[in-house]
Amino acid sequence: MSAKILPIKIYPDKILRQKAAKINRLDKKIQRLILDMGKTMLAKEGAGLAAPQVGESIRLIVVNTKNGVLAMINPKITRRSWSKEPGEEGCLSLPDIIGQVKRSKKIKVIYYNEDNKQIKLSAAGLFARVIQHEVDHLNGVLFIDYLKKKGLPAKFREQTLR
């Protein structure tokens, strides 16, 4: 069966605020979800996509890289550089808003790939930004949480955490 484009959960859908569960078994369902999420991200021209955005509250993200779709299972950011930089972000779950978010310039991340192999990766710049944004989704954090509430349209204001 070929991969399919999945519907995106849009803010303020509650799943976007849940802490996603760790994946304990890399079964057929997860393999299928990785393919579907990859196809969905490319079709919607997203820089990345997290499983809660397609209704699955589990710790899985995909990132759009120049080498193709990179899937990260149970990703954990182990180091974040003290040095941060602002950059423009948007989100497929927040279709009407973009904002400047300060993120660490460099990070280290550990995750499992589709072959259940543990990978350690260093990332910088936009790549590091996208990983930080997507890992935030797994913890119920959205990029609007980093923006000044005053500048946000009313419909985004009430549910921001900080």
Instruction: Give the x-and-dash track for 47-86 against Co ion (CB under 5 A).
Output: ----------------------------------------
Distance CA 24, CA 41 (A): 24
Q: How far is the CB of 89 from Co ion (least distance, A)?
A: 8
Which residue number is nearest to Co ion in terms of Cβ?
91
Q: How far is the CB of 124 from Co ion (least distance, A)?
A: 20
One DSSP character per residue, 90-150 reads EETTEEEEEEEEEEESEEEEEEE-TTS-EEEEEEEHHHHHHHHHHHHHHTT--GGGGS-GG
Q: How far is the CB of 91 from Co ion (least distance, A)?
A: 3
Q: Is 107 annotated as a binding residue?
A: no
Residue 91 is a binding residue for Co ion (CB under 5 A): yes
Q: What is the dihedral of CA 52, 86, 39, 8, to 10 degrees?
A: 40
Annotated catalytic residues are: 134
Return residues touching Co ion (CB under 5 A). 91
Residue ranges for the known binding site for Fe cation are 91, 133, 137
